[in-house]
Amino acid sequence: METQAVETAAAVTSGGAQAPAGMAWQDRYLLNLAPMDDIHREFVSLVNALLVAPPEADLVPLMDALVEHTERHFAMEQRWMEESHFPPTGCHEDEHSRSLAVVVAVRDKVAAGDAALGRTLARELVPWFDNHVASMDWALASWIARTGYAATA
């Protein structure tokens, strides 16, 4: 009986047969700016891939894809901020720079064998994205809608 309880506890703490929690698209992420919504769907998909990767999976290609995406995603928003003369560009730019630096640093740690750190980053990116979309990206999308700037991918 006691052995069974220990085995049950071990199965629960290791995730058991349950699928790991992923990151699903939420309609609250929609900012009604198609190229931004599209790249945000891509972000969610990449973070989800990291979150649901099985324990034996090689996370390096997934981290490489996340680095490539993050550089392209932030560069696109940067271009829009500059071309549309978005007033708080510096604040949004700083947040992007800090976040990209973390993603790149974690990619290198994962490549050096610390897969757990990649999974931790992915978990932390879920609330980070929620907040970033609702604040900085929302402000940029609102500015673009107000000014009529033609934001393209």
The residues of the shown chain that bind Fe ion, judged by CB under 5 A, are: 77, 137
Find all residues with CB under 8 Å of 149, minimum gap 6, and list them.
Answer: 80, 83, 84, 143
What does the alpha-carbon distance between residue 48 and residue 43 come to, in Å, rounded to a whole number?
A: 8
Q: How far is the CB of 11 from Fe ion (least distance, A)?
A: 38
Name which of 53 and 77 has its Cβ closer to Fe ion: 77
- For tokens 């999308």, name the residue: 141
Q: How far is the CB of 61 from Fe ion (least distance, A)?
A: 23
The stretches of 1-153 forming alpha helices (DSSP H) are 2-13, 34-52, 60-83, 89-111, 115-132, 138-147
Name which of 46 and 137 has its Cβ closer to Fe ion: 137
- Closest residue by beta carbon to Fe ion: 137
Q: How far is the CB of 87 from Fe ion (least distance, A)?
A: 15
Q: How far is the CB of 45 from Fe ion (least distance, A)?
A: 14
Residue 99 burial (10 A CB sphere; 0-12, 13-18, 19+)? middle
Name which of 49 and 137 has its Cβ closer to Fe ion: 137
Name which of 114 and 130 has its Cβ closer to Fe ion: 130
